[in-house]
Amino acid sequence: MGSPATRTDPSDPAAGLVARAAFPLLRDQPDLVYLDSAASAQKPAAVIDRLTRFYGREYANIHRGLYGLSEGTSEAYEAARHRVARFLGAGAQEIIFTANATAAINLVAHAHGDSSLKPGDLVLISQLEHHANIVPWQLLRERRHVRLAAIPIDDDGDIDLRQYEMLLSREPRLVCLTAAANTIGTVPPLKAMIDQAHRAGAMVLVDAAQAAPHLPLNMRDLDCDFLAITGHKLYGPDGIGALYVRESILADLPPFLGGGGMIRSVTLAHTDYADGPRRFEAGTPAIGGAIALATALDFIDAIGFERIAAHDAALLAHADARLPEIAGLRIIGRPAQRTGIISFAIDGLHPHDIGSLLGADGICLRAGHHCAQPLMERLGLVGTTRLSFAVHNTTSDIDRLVDSLARVRQMLR
């Protein structure tokens, strides 16, 4: 799918890559400017229709029933696993469905961290991380008494690669990195950093929640050990995500949650666990969410990452040119490579006040610390106002934002 809604001239950022009409909420609210896709993306009609069709015409539980409806649903669920695997350049046996990227990272912290890391082992994170890639490792530190250290960033918002090399010399066991920073959009040199970590003897977990809608991710090329994505940022449903685990690691990984669906046999004395991803999918999963996520990935692939990257770059350039027109506005961070995210601050104005007044004007974006308080502390800020792009955004959305910001600036002088 995707070709009827996709613009014929993707080189024109004034048009958007995909028509607003493809998204029911945006179609029905033509005056709304939605610039908060880094929090959650709007859903195209194809995804909503797939979810509705599943619950209205196809619903049954999976891997349990011997009747046609259940068998059909089981096939669709496993086909969705294969679809996620293809999207990530992985094998289906390496894809675990989770509730979201946060749940995926917590799964690694418990299943791998509790079983393989011992007191004194070093875990590295970066100052760019979302709380979802910080707090699970702090909890692991409390449980297992591992050490935790942060890779610094420079004033532009890029990872300090010299400091990274120095930290690798301390022989960490695990390195946890974002593939795109949710607050200032930094895209680190991930492949090189993963290679360095492996040479130092560390495994690598990648939080790709923000990167997955904007950048191609191929597990054979990246060669990371774990990678987390979430459906709601991928134009898919909320409540569904996925964790890639390298097959050789997954084979020896102990289960994290226990219950139905993740077992081969159970007696009161002993349980034999299922093989592969199902060992980590206890209970009834988000069946409809997984199936609709596959449709969302079809939607993204029909557009193509090359076109998405060009569209992001054009919108970023337009925002870079227009936002400084506002007196006292500072764009936060100038990373060498940035995905479709910009944060800014305005001298003397609190980001919550900015966000609230913009919201009253029909401009939807995020204000605050964006679940990245350590990064805010590094930048010397209480928070920022963040705009983030999707395939439906246009230069006119940015122009509307700038016009609204000018009015806000006048109101709060």
Q: Which CATH number belongs to the domain containing residue 218 in this structure?
A: 3.40.640.10
Burial of 242 (C-beta count, 10 Å sphere; 0-12/13-18/19+): buried
pTM above 0.85, yes or no: yes
Could you tell me the pLDDT band of residue 310, with boundaries at 50, 70 and 90? very high
Per-residue model confidence (pLDDT) at position 151:
98
Q: Domain boundary residue among 250, 275, 301?
A: 301
Residue finishing a domain among 280, 301, 322: 301
Residue 289 backbone dihedrals phi, psi, to 5 degrees? -60, -40
pLDDT at residue 4 in the model: 38
Q: Which domain holds residue 103?
A: 49-301
Q: What is the per-residue burial (b if ≥16 Cβ within 10 Å, else e) of 7-30?
A: beebeebebbbbbbebbeebeeee
| 371 part of the active site | yes
Residue with tokens 């995210």: 341
Q: Are residues 37 and 63 in the same domain?
A: no
**Can you give the pLDDT at residue 20?**
95
Query: What pLDDT score was predicted for residue 2?
Result: 39
Among 176, 224, 364, 371, the active-site one is 371
pLDDT for the residue 412: 75
Q: Supply 175's token pair.
A: 């390195």
Domain count, the chain: 2
Q: Which tens digit of pLDDT belongs to each residue from 15-57? A: 789 999 999 999 999 999 999 999 999 999 999 999 999 999 9
Do residues 315 and 289 both lie within one domain?
no
Q: Is residue 13 part of a domain?
A: no
C-alpha triplet 28, 236, 366: angle, nearest 5°: 70
Look at residue 339 and tell me if it is in a domain. yes
Helices (H), 323-394: 351-360, 373-379
What confidence score (pLDDT) does residue 409 get? 82
Task: State how far the Cα of 65 lies from the Cα of 53, in Å rounded to an integer.
Answer: 20
Count of positions (residues) in the chain: 413
